Amino acid sequence: MMSLPRAPGFDRTRSFLRAPYTFIGRMCDRLDSDAFETRLFLRRTVCLRGAEAAALFYDDERFDRSAGRSGWLARTRFGHGRVRELEGTTHLARKTLRLSLFDTASVAHARRLFAEEWALAVPWWELQGKVVLYDEIQAVLTRVACAWTGVPLPETDVLRRTDDLALLFDASDAPKLRDVRRAGRDVHDWLAAQIRAVRAGGAVEPHSALERLARSRLDEATGATELDSLIRPVVALSVPIVFLALALHQHPHLVPTTKDERRAFVQEVRRFYPVFPATAALIRRDFEWKGAKLQAGRLALFDLYGTNHHPSIWPVPHAFQPERFLGAAPQVFVPLRGNEHGPERYAGDELSLALLDEALLQLTVFMHYSVRASQDLRLDMRKIPALPRSRLILDEVRARAFMAPLGEQLRESSGLRPQLGRKIG
């Protein structure tokens, strides 16, 4: 029986950490194979990319994608305690509850909250004169995520909760790992306290995620984990929102004007820009693939970035071309959470698309701004996420004239409040 090609050297951890987005793809090109074996963090690992690998990797009978979320990957994005980490009836019950939270009305409610919070933020940004979009939009999304799930968020806690949640998806520097663990504990304890308060008779927004989880049979810790898994991905949308603004700046001739064009623009941003490099799993059982044996217990990494730039799937893969998403949908598209068109599609993807579409509308229709010329917009591909080094500084932010009445109405009810993002040094 054949074996998969092996990357040269005993362990390639250093190479992977130097180039987390391109390591797998470059090694696949070097070995002329879309699959190879290596050692990462001293552990024998199978690396995969491409259309056939996507169909293989999202086969639940062969891969356990929850068990593979450990170590470096868990610290940078996923953590533990998600829906897929349970089996059988417990898993099914949690998954059913989760899916019920993403119905059309819930998604529309989240989008409406996002539009209102963005409208409230713009006057504050205008007063500052210049803002770091990445930092400011995290505070906006933290407010949105808490309001959408029914979790109380006093104004004095916005900065603390925003910083903790941001650490859980943007903390690739080794000195921050202790802070990441501390933030994860604080977020979990905070959300567990919210469930405990409701169960003790406290007030709660009817039909909210907090109410439904508090009234469910889930224990307090599991309910807190579920709330975390709803809130954290919303705040993490600050990454593709920065890429939306960057794409508009770099490709001003492609500004979308229709709903279909906006959807295509959003999808191309998710394909083109580096949000997360790979997703992990454990091989459940021995099996053969393309004549090679894959052994149970091995770690497997599926290359998201490399698959979304694979020349056999995407013509001119390193060109930004939103029109590729107009008309027939691509057969293989793997944004952060998994196969866009397969059965493994992430339940909250419609929520993500709705909020990103709203962000695109805000950036192109409802506000005016300029992108500061004297900033470093190069992507730091050594970090996860690979953001512009300057995190995208905006100048001359103001609402469009026709948005003034809505902004005034919202300010009368909510007040002009700082968004509490980290300021420009």
Q: What angle do the packed helices 133-149 and 238-250 form, to 10 degrees?
A: 140
Rounded Cα distance between 242 and 132, Å, is 10
Structure tokens at 46: 């199978």
pLDDT range class, residue 276, cuts 50, 70, 90 = confident
Rounded Cα distance between 375 and 256, Å, is 25
pLDDT in tens, 79-93: 333 433 444 444 555
Rounded Cα distance between 407 and 122, Å, is 9
Rounded Cα distance between 1 and 18, Å, is 34
pLDDT in tens, 375-387: 999 999 988 889 9
pLDDT range class, residue 354, cuts 50, 70, 90 = very high
Q: What is the pLDDT of residue 121?
A: 93
**What DSSP element (H or E) covers 406?**
helix 404-414
Cα atoms in the 13 Å half-sphere on the side-chain side of 107: 18
Whether the per-residue pLDDT at 48 is higher than 50: the answer is: yes
Three-state SS for 4? coil
- Domain map (residue ranges) of the chain: 13-414
Q: What is the pLDDT of residue 170?
A: 84
pLDDT in tens, 222-236: 899 989 989 999 999
Whether the per-residue pLDDT at 340 is higher than 50: the answer is: no
pLDDT range class, residue 330, cuts 50, 70, 90 = low
How is the beta sheet containing 393-399 ordered, strand by strand?
130-132, 393-399, 367-371
The CATH number, out of the four listed (1.25.40.340, 1.10.630.10, 3.40.190.10, 1.10.340.30), of the domain defined by the range 13-414? 1.10.630.10
pTM: 0.87
Q: Which residues contact 405 (CB under 8 A, 6 or more apart)?
A: none
* Segment 134-161 mean pLDDT: 96
